[in-house]
Structure 1
């Protein structure tokens, strides 16, 4: 009997120890009680995932920002991925299907705003309003729908023309060369048509070089062609609709582009030429005037500095327009994806935190090109004077997307219309009328199904 009682006593003591041990070693990630061994409290583990198709040199800045943010907010587990812009649409589509969207996506606004209409983005108006005064209005207009802001602005890239100043000098066109690389040229439209292009054609005759690059091979860098279609004051978009086929000045502009091809002012294969091919021609000093944006321009400057590109005098110019000038802008920023509540809250906290880092990681990311922040632009006034020139010229900025729902999808119709005219298959009026009709159907579908339009 005593042996039985002793055994029961031992078992009860063991059970007590086991019970205490189970209670003190819980695997519940939300348990923040102090462990007996004196180690740090356990904290919740919430993913904070950032994806971006920014330039590869942004990776260091993003990783530094995540490390600093998580040091202050240890409940989040940082995850980061960078990939080419060409992969963006497929990656987001697959992530949506798998219910594995990132917390934040950093990309160009024109590539992302359609996702707001699809319900994949959430507005960040509350995070933007405290810092709204630090950004030009044209940036905020391009990232808003029905009064809600969807993009946290980081940097911008003016879209304009590159020109080879060495070729201009050889052609006797010195007066059309700006005073330095930091000052964009502003050519008079009539001078461009009647003096610059004919002179370049004459000077370059009999060589492999040509005056101006024109391309409609695919839907990349379509901004350049939107700018050219505005040379007589016309437009592709107006009041949320495509109006290119109804605007006589837009039709006239496409006729002019076709005439330039026939006159030998451009490459003869404009209907099939790719924008990337045109830019390579410019790098190889085969074309005098080419499309480009500020990111491309700074990349060219860096290539010359590191010796990977032969040095030559290249500069920027606005697209000449009858009695005016034209300049488009690419805006790059962060977008809050529609994920679960904890990730959404983490994304909002990160953006609010990032906005306070204007002397740190936010400034570093902003300087991937021209900062969106006016205060950061002022800080770099002396070291990057060309940005102040772009601010001075901001009156010429237009929204090449028209702010229309479904813009990215309408791009697939834009280039076939231009190709149809340049190849001789249709007149400008016919090609643009067909594009207008089909594009507006896309816009109507997006509008009727939009999760963002109120």
Structure 2
């Protein structure tokens, strides 16, 4: 009897143990297939041992501006679609058109302050110090060191890298870059008895040609007196032998004899030589004036080369900006920045997108599609670029002019200084104010705004 009772007890214990094991096994299996607190699902290897957790998909928010004509928004949308097809669902990009360069800067700064910023942004290369002043961007050196290193960085033209560097660190990658170039109407040159294959190369020729071309309702030359007026003045300053700021963004040099002379020459083309229109000639309308032959020459960004090529019904050429004491132009356009404070996986994802955008073939095609200068040397070695420039040699003007280019106007407290800079330049150009007085007022404002950055 005892033996029977013992067997019954053992049976009950065995059944209970099996049930407990089954319950435990069920719980363990459930933990492997249920989402974790972070939303990821740990994967299992074929041996049953846990392997590396599968990463959550990342959607990057990317702000980009448009500062030239044409269909640049469509170009960016096509790039995002291609990237998402190649890298999704692990990494995808959500494009956000953010207006002009200034609009984009305001939106990025507002987003950073409100902790609702994009992950990365295409923004004016001159915004470096403003973004550093509010601790908004991260240096890219560690990401570069892990992926490309010096070989990657050295492929970019130095004139484009300069605006992204300070104190030994690189904070942005050149992408949508430009310089100011001279566009000229070869048909109107012929009508004026000028050689269409010999654009003006110096100030004396510029005045001579400009006066000869000003007739029949057409101006000889147009230069903006509104947006980017400070960019244009910087070109004249460089051509006359004097830069307007130091590389660290802590000092400006405006009321110098060389710069007064440069601004006076600009004014003389309007008021003495009468080869340019008076008034506030607008940045956005100048390419339209050139295409409609209301002006025979224009100073404008190479970023509008695609617009002119598609719109002009006449033979046109491009050339270096005419030299004063020397050739010179500031670079322009936008760089790629990663916002500071992102988790490492989002930094890595943003860097993946930047590296993808700046591959030689892709940068070459972006340059062809928009007119902006391809920022890397290797882009010009691609068959795509070689074929295009063989058919359209005007496209190489901006790249070749980089030999004489300098970094664009970029300083601390730039927003505050730019307001006075633009206002006083407009006073000189539009209202015929004294150049020396205008530059003295800008210098005073700059000194005040930058004094906290002096050692």
TM-score computed with the length of structure 1 as normaliser: 0.79
Judging changes above 3 Å, is the alpha-carbon distance between structure 1 residues 115 and 267 closer, same or farther for their aligned structure 2 residues? same
Q: Report the Cα offset of residue 325 of structure 1.
A: 2.1
Q: Which residue of 2 aligns with 1:435?
A: 442
Structure 1 position 260 matched with structure 2 position 266: no
Determine which structure has greater relative contact order: mean sequence separation of CA pairs < 8 Å that are 6+ residues apart, divided by chain length: 1
Q: Which residue of 1 aligns with 2:425?
A: 418
Q: Report the Cα offset of residue 282 of structure 1.
A: 1.8
Structure 1 position 376 matched with structure 2 position 379: yes
Contact 1:123 1:149 in 2 (8 A): yes
Q: Which residue of 1 aligns with 2:204?
A: 190
Structure 2: distance between partners of 1:58 and 1:159 = 23
Q: Which residue of 2 aligns with 1:30?
A: 40
Contact 1:117 1:405 in 2 (8 A): yes
Structure 2: distance between partners of 1:346 and 1:95 = 20
Structure 1 position 348 matched with structure 2 position 348: no
Judging changes above 3 Å, is the alpha-carbon distance between structure 1 residues 253 and 130 closer, same or farther for their aligned structure 2 residues? closer
Structure 1 position 85 matched with structure 2 position 100: yes
Q: Report the Cα offset of residue 46 of structure 1.
A: 5.3
Structure 1 position 47 matched with structure 2 position 58: yes
Judging changes above 3 Å, is the alpha-carbon distance between structure 1 residues 408 and 48 closer, same or farther for their aligned structure 2 residues? farther
Q: Report the Cα offset of residue 148 of structure 1.
A: 0.7
Which residue of 323, 326, 330 corresponds with 1:324?
326
Which residue of 161, 164, 167 corresponds with 1:146?
167
Q: Report the Cα offset of residue 67 of structure 1.
A: 3.4
Q: Report the Cα offset of residue 93 of structure 1.
A: 2.8
Q: Which residue of 2 aligns with 1:60?
A: 78
Match runs of 1:162-181 below 5 Å = 162-174=183-195, 177-178=196-197
What RMSD over aligned residues (CA atoms) do the two structures have, in Å?
3.4
SS of 1:161 mapped into structure 2: strand
Structure 1 position 132 matched with structure 2 position 153: yes
Q: Report the Cα offset of residue 63 of structure 1.
A: 2.9
Q: Point out 4+ residue stretches in structure 1 off by more than 6 angstroms.
A: 12-18
Aligned residues: 410
SS of 1:414 mapped into structure 2: helix
Judging changes above 3 Å, is the alpha-carbon distance between structure 1 residues 110 and 255 closer, same or farther for their aligned structure 2 residues? same
Contact 2:242 2:259 in 1 (8 A): yes
Judging changes above 3 Å, is the alpha-carbon distance between structure 1 residues 315 and 410 closer, same or farther for their aligned structure 2 residues? farther
Contact 1:189 1:322 in 2 (8 A): yes
Q: Which residue of 2 aligns with 1:405?
A: 412
Structure 1 position 396 matched with structure 2 position 409: no
Judging changes above 3 Å, is the alpha-carbon distance between structure 1 residues 66 and 85 closer, same or farther for their aligned structure 2 residues? farther
Structure 2: distance between partners of 1:172 and 1:237 = 41
Which residue of 333, 336, 339 corresponds with 1:334?
336
Structure 2 unaligned spans of 5+: 1-11, 47-51, 67-71
SS of 1:154 mapped into structure 2: strand
TM-score computed with the length of structure 2 as normaliser: 0.78
Which residue of 53, 60, 69 corresponds with 2:87?
69
Judging changes above 3 Å, is the alpha-carbon distance between structure 1 residues 332 and 210 closer, same or farther for their aligned structure 2 residues? same
Larger Rg: 2
Q: Which residue of 2 aligns with 1:115?
A: 131
- Deviation track 1:233-272 (CA, whole Å, cap 9, x = no partner) reads 2333346422111x10211222222232222221021xx3
Structure 2: distance between partners of 1:33 and 1:230 = 61
Q: Whose strand fraction is larger, Structure 1's or Structure 2's?
A: 1
Structure 1: distance between partners of 2:113 and 2:411 = 25
